[in-house]
């Protein structure tokens, strides 16, 4: 109870000595009075027990380990100059991704919009287009040297690339033209041949049947044909014979036709 003096001290004095008592810094006479008060006072006894327990709980808390890159981040955020040297010392086992992340961390807010997927896609397409253009122009980044970056060298390269490209295009055009011309000639030749055949055919069709008979009957100068024609005109037509007799039936010339 406040106001009472068990142990020779009041509660205010007791509370003032509490810290030293818990630190073990009280002299023996004071400590004896302190303990007597704590045992007798209904307020100060629990206060001592609580403070003692709380101190034990707090002392039990282990020190937490700071993040590995904390020092580096602090140096980057403050001096910045020693960051490169510290990078090698502070995180010798950090991966290149961690190091890149640390270096780009101050720039992250500014480039956050650019790092969106659509921007990444656009950048990829732009890179692809530039690569295609460079390849078409005959420029290869792997074989690029410092001497190639002189204005005169750039102009020379561009002129050469232009001339080569123009020559290739012209040659291609000429080749295409030659092929077309050959195809055209072949087509004309075929058409001409076909017209001759058609005229011949048409001429045959236009001949009269009388003329055809005259041409068939005309055997002058062709003795084999003349003989064949004669045989067919004078030979009777033999139809067939039976096995009962050897008689042969013949059909008169007039009926056989």
Partner 1 sequence: MEDTQAVAALVERCLGGDAAAWEEIVRLYHRRIYNVSYRFAGTAEDAEDLTQEVFIKMYRTLKSYDVSKGALVTWVTTVARNLLVDNFRRRKHDRMTDSLESAPAGHQDALTLGEQLPDLGPSPDAGVHTQQTQRAVHQALQKLSPELREAVILRDLQELEYREIAQVLRVPEGTVKSRINRGRAELARHLSRTYRQVS
- Give 58 or 107: the residue with its C-beta nearer to partner 1: 58
- Give 94 or 157: the residue with its C-beta nearer to partner 1: 94
Binding site for partner 1 (CB under 8 A): 15-16, 18-19, 42-43, 45-47, 49-64, 66-67, 70-71, 73-75, 77-79, 81-82, 86
- Give 84 or 167: the residue with its C-beta nearer to partner 1: 84
Residue of 174, 154, 156, 178 lying closest to 166 (CA atoms)? 174
CB of 83 to partner 1, least distance (A): 9
Question: Beta strands 248-251 and 237-241: pairing type?
Answer: antiparallel
16 close to 44: Cβ distance less than 8 angstroms: no
CB of 80 to partner 1, least distance (A): 9
Identify the sign of the CA torsion 134, 140, 141, 147. Answer: negative
CB of 97 to partner 1, least distance (A): 19
In a 3-state reduction of DSSP, which class is residue 248?
strand
19 close to 52: Cβ distance less than 8 angstroms: no
- Give 58 or 257: the residue with its C-beta nearer to partner 1: 58
CB of 155 to partner 1, least distance (A): 46
In a 3-state reduction of DSSP, which class is residue 243?
coil
């Amino acid at each position: 109870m406040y106001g009472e003096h068990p142990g020779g001290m009041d509660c205010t004095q007791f509370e003032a000595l509490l810290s030293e008592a818990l630190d073990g810094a009280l002299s023996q006479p004071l400590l004896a009075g302190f303990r007597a008060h704590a045992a007798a006072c209904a307020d100060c006894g629990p206060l001592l027990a609580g403070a003692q327990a709380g101190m034990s709980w707090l002392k039990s808390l282990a020190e937490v380990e700071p993040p590995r890159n904390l020092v580096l981040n602090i140096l980057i955020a403050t001096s910045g100059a020693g960051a490169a040297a510290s990078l090698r010392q502070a995180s010798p086992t950090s991966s290149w991704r961690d190091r890149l992340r640390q270096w780009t961390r101050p720039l992250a807010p500014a480039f956050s919009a650019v790092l969106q997927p659509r921007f990444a896609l656009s950048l990829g397409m732009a890179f692809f287009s530039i690569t295609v253009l460079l390849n078409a122009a005959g420029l290869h980044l792997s074989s690029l040297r410092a001497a190639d970056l002189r204005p005169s060298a750039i102009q020379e390269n561009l002129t050469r690339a232009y001339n080569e490209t123009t020559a290739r295009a012209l040659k291609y055009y000429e080749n295409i033209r030659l092929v077309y011309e050959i195809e055209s000639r072949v087509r004309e030749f075929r058409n001409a041949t076909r017209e001759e055949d058609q005229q011949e055919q048409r001429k045959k069709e236009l001949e009269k049947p009388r003329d055809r008979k005259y041409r068939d009957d005309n055997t002058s100068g062709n003795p084999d044909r003349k003989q064949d024609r004669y045989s067919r005109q004078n030979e009777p037509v033999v139809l067939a014979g039976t096995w009962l007799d050897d008689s042969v039936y013949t059909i008169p010339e007039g009926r056989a036709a």
